[in-house]
A and B are shown apart, each in its own frame.
Chain A
Amino acid sequence: MDDKNLKINVPEGMRDLIYDDCRRYREIERRLAEVYESLGFREARTPTLEYLDVFDGGSALSRERMYKLTDNSGRLLALRADNTMPMARVAATKLIGDLPALLYYNQSVFAVQSENSGRAGEISQSGVELIGAPAPRGDLLCILTAISALRTLGVPFKLELGHVGFFNGLLGELDLTVEAKTDLRRLVDAKNAVSLGSFEGLEKSQLARFRRLPLLYGGEEIFAEAEEVAAGNSEALQALGYVKNLHRLLTEAGFADDIIIDLGIVHEIDYYTGAVLRGYALGAGEPILSGGRYDGLLASFGYNVPATGFAINVGLVAECMAKAEERGQIDAPDVLIHYPEEKFAAAAAKAGELARCGKRCELSCFAEPEESRRYAASRGIAEVIVL
């Protein structure tokens, strides 16, 4: 860009939000804050500028990608590169003894993006941190909050559940250099089946095992295969057992349809130690929600307590909403119930039952199942129940 044009432009990755964009951001943040508060969370804000040291060591973002500047004594500062680490700092210094601290926030993180990638350099995040909340109850509350949060947004979604112990257990068996382990982690995380197939330095049987990891995602049907992959590795089996138990409890609570399991989740962020989450929505090419358990992180701030949490990318959700609005599909119910007239009672009962587990549903006004299906497709309703 010509230097004299700087006055009338914004830096790469930065965005102005005008009219509808602002309305969507506000609406999303308001709905999410309502959900968080209804579940007992309280708001916290941290400064936009922190010492770079706060963000160092967890590799949420590499130093190269932080926006850096110096204070008047030459110390390195960074624009907020991550929300979890400053929240951990706050809890470890100002909330000692006040546990569990259920915090929520609506604030941006900043990351330098590669040129012309089209990615935002300022990302509005809305999320929670459950500090001093051990597994499994902390995880259950975190997942319940995540599902409630995603549901209130009105875009079709899936919440993915994994456990870093599954991969780390299998990795622990290997006699590899740190660099090779990092490569392997990256390949499994990216589901790069091709390069995994030719990964050097692994025995045949181990290679076969790691090649199955990228495909270990789906519903409870994958547990049997996961059992085979983890055979003989106590850490991986323990992680698997933990995920199975969470899945059973969440299924009993009526969340089975909202959840998928992925035991190949590795997570590029090092500080995760247990169950991890990612949320996907139709219309967003990358996760709209990301989080997990980070039991070791608070200790690095001098306060050794367990913790978990997640963040929702408000900008991505706003884009999904804008697309849904264009298609006339905003706030579509989750379920459409098609019923023959004489089964009205059953339809009404079903609607009540779905509403109790937080699903929005609509009774179809059409007589033919085909008409209902067409309507559901055009309105963006994910599921049609035909009675």
Chain B
Amino acid sequence: MIRLALTKGRIEAEAVKLLESAGYDCSDMDEEKRGRRLIFHTDGGELEIVLAKAGDVLTYVSHGVCDAGIVGSDTIAEQGSDACELLDLGFGRCRFALAGKAGEWKGIGHRRLVIASKYPNVTRRFFARRGADVEVVKIEGSVELAPLLGLADAIVDIVETGSTLRANGLEVYEDIADVSARLIFNMASIKLKKSETDIFVRRMRAAVGV
């Protein structure tokens, strides 16, 4: 049996579609049946699905209480992970970008910049590569507010179409990295459950079409 931690929310719907097309019956997760449960079974019992928040997916997989996980690479980049990233699932595509008020980016200069982000580690790494000592402010909700209210010179955030930025008079200054949903595995699980892992990964690979 493989226990898979699945990121709740946007990734979940796409992931369930993919699992179904890989031949795993996820009807246990149907709206009318699920209620408030967090653990689900596929029909054959070979796959158990656990719903969790993105960061927790990494934690469960890294501690080995879940064998596998489906999670956005944005969370992996921010939180760091010792799990094996076996497959790019192709959905949940967006990108990390540096953004701010349209036309106001002054670049890295002698003045210390303030950058707001939900992703302080990604932000620090991005600027550290350029030797820029920026001040990073962690924001929990709509990061777009920070430059508008004058708290930050720019933000680092994930951008899908850029429409939220435009609606608030912001623009992308620079793309940082691509983001998509990944299938990750615990290193001990792929060793101790090799044949089950191989079958699961092969079926998922076929469903993704790579």
Contacts from A to B (Cβ < 8 Å): 114, 118, 156, 158, 160, 190-195, 197, 214, 217-218, 260, 262, 280-287
Whether B190 lies near A287 (C-beta < 8 A) is no
Complex Cα spacing A212 to B188, Å: 19
**Which chain B residues border A156 with CB–CB below 8 Å?**
192
* Contacts A285-B65, A285-B186; A192 near B85 (Cβ below 8 A): yes
Complex Cα spacing A274 to B16, Å: 44
Which segment of B46-54, B56-64, B99-107 sits at the interface? B56-64
B87 contacts the other chain (CB 8 A):
yes
Give chain B's interface secondary structure class: mixed
Whether B194 lies near A191 (C-beta < 8 A) is no
Complex Cα spacing A283 to B186, Å: 12
**Which chain A residues border B85 with CB–CB below 8 Å?**
190-195
* Contacts A118-B63, A285-B64, A285-B186; A260 near B191 (Cβ below 8 A): yes
Whether A260 lies near B194 (C-beta < 8 A) is yes
Whether B82 lies near A280 (C-beta < 8 A) is no
B84 contacts the other chain (CB 8 A):
yes
Complex Cα spacing A205 to B80, Å: 30
Whether B59 lies near A287 (C-beta < 8 A) is no
Whether A193 lies near B192 (C-beta < 8 A) is no
Complex Cα spacing A282 to B191, Å: 10
Complex Cα spacing A57 to B73, Å: 32
Complex Cα spacing A250 to B83, Å: 30
**Which chain B residues border A280 with CB–CB below 8 Å?**
187-188, 191-192
Contacts from B to A (Cβ < 8 Å): 59, 61-65, 73, 80, 82-88, 182, 185-192, 194
Complex Cα spacing A192 to B65, Å: 20
A286 to chain B, nearest CB (A): 6
Whether B88 lies near A286 (C-beta < 8 A) is no
Contact of B188 among A190, A217, A285 (CB under 8 A): A285
Whether B188 lies near A194 (C-beta < 8 A) is no
Complex Cα spacing A191 to B201, Å: 13
Whether A193 lies near B87 (C-beta < 8 A) is yes
Complex Cα spacing A18 to B185, Å: 33
**Which chain A residues border B185 with CB–CB below 8 Å?**
191
A374 to chain B, nearest CB (A): 15
**Which chain B residues border A190 with CB–CB below 8 Å?**
82-85
Contact of A282 among B59, B80, B187, B192 (CB under 8 A): B192
Whether A193 lies near B84 (C-beta < 8 A) is yes
Contact of A158 among B61, B80, B191 (CB under 8 A): B191
Whether A286 lies near B82 (C-beta < 8 A) is yes
Complex Cα spacing A192 to B76, Å: 12
**Which chain B residues border A217 with CB–CB below 8 Å?**
190-191, 194
Complex Cα spacing A260 to B187, Å: 13
Complex Cα spacing A266 to B110, Å: 42
Residue of B nearest to A114 (CB): B80
Contact of B86 among A118, A194, A284, A286 (CB under 8 A): A194
A107 to chain B, nearest CB (A): 25
**Which chain A residues border B65 with CB–CB below 8 Å?**
285
* Contacts A286-B64, A286-B82; A191 near B190 (Cβ below 8 A): yes
